[in-house]
Amino acid sequence: MQQRNFHFSEKKRVVVKIGSSSLNYEKTGRLNLTKLEHLVRELCNIRNRGMDVCLVSSGAIAAGRQSLGLAERPKDISTKQACAAVGQAGLMMVYQKLFAEYNQVAGQVLMTKNTMVNPVSRENARNTFEELFRLGVIPIVNENDTVSTYEMQFGDNDTLSAIVASLTGADLLILLSDIDGLFTDDPHKNPDARLIEVVERMDSAVYGMAKGSTGSDLGTGGMTTKLTAAKIATLSGADMIIANGKDVCILHHIFDDSFTGTIFKADKKDSFRIADFILETIG
C-alpha cells in the first residue's frame, strides 16, 4: 500500500506529538520560539480544515531545567518534578500567547497513569476532551510529572500520545521526532539503512527494527517507545505517522499527501483495552 492512498485530509480527529528535542535548541536546550510559532500556526490550520486537533507536548522538564539554571538533564525524580513544575507553567504561557495570536483557544490537560486505569477518571477525562473539542478548543496534553512518577516511564510522551489518541477516538496520530521514520537499521550508524514508508501490520519483524537509543539529552524516547505507540494507536483504530519534526511545516504536507515518513496502518481490534495494556506494560 502506498502513502498517497491514505488521504489524510479526510481525517476527523488528529493527535500531534512533539518531543523535547524538536522544541529546543540542541546546543543551549532553550525553547526554539520560531519553531513553536510555526507549530502553533500549523495546528491552527489543521483546526481551520475542520478537524479536531490535540497537541501532546513534551518540553516541561527541559524548560524548567533552563529556568532553574541546570546545565544537564536531572536524573533524580524529585529534581525532574521540580523542573516540570516550573517548566510546565512557562511552556503553557508561551503556547497560550501564540495560540491567541491566531484567535485560537488552547486548554491544558495533565494526565497520570491513574487517569487511565481508574474507570471513573478515564470517563471523566474522555468527557473533558469531548467538551473541549465541541467548544473548538485545542487541548495541550502533558504528563503530570509534578505529582506522579509513573509518567516518566511513558518515554518522551510517545506512549502518552497514543493513549490520548485511543482515549479520544482519534483516527490519526502524528509523532514529530528527530528522525524521518522507521528504518531497516539505525540510520545514524548504517548509511545503507532504508526508510520504510508503510507498515501494514505490527509483527515481530517490525519490532526487531526498534532501537532504544535517542539522539539527544533533551528527550527520553527512542524507536522502541514509538513502536509501542504504534501498537496502541493502530489497535485502537488510528493510523500513525512518524515524521521528522525538524521542520514542523511537514504537518501540512502530510494533509496534502506529500511527505517523507512512516505510516502505520490502523488495525482496530475490538478486544484491545487501553487500561489493561497500561497495567500489563507499565504496572
Angstrom CA distances, 259 to 2, 191, 238, 253, stand at 12, 21, 19, 6
Handedness of CA 36, 107, 235, 117 (dihedral sign): positive
Is the pLDDT confidence value at 244 over 60?
yes
Q: Flag whether pLDDT at 220 surpasses 60.
A: no
How confident is the model over 10-22, as pLDDT tens digits?
999 999 999 877 8
100, pLDDT greater than 50:
yes
The total of structural domains in the chain comes to: 1
Work out the average pLDDT over 145-158. 61
Cβ-based neighbours of 43, under 8 Å, separated by 6 or more: 16, 53, 55, 104, 138, 251
State the CATH number of the domain containing residue 39. Answer: 3.40.1160.10
pLDDT reported for residue 252: 95
Residues near 228 by beta carbon (within 8 Å), at least 6 away in sequence: 155, 158, 159, 162, 281
Sheet containing strand 262-264, edge to edge, reads 106-111, 138-143, 52-57, 13-18, 172-177, 239-244, 262-264, 198-199
pLDDT attached to residue 213: 45
**DSSP letter string over 208-246?**
TT-----S-SS----HHHHHHHHHHHHHTT-EEEEEETT
Range of the domain at 110: 3-281
Closest residue by Cα to residue 119 from 282, 8, 279: 279
**pLDDT band per the 50, 70, 90 thresholds, residue 283:** low
In this prediction, residue 122 has a pLDDT band, given cuts at 50, 70 and 90, of very high
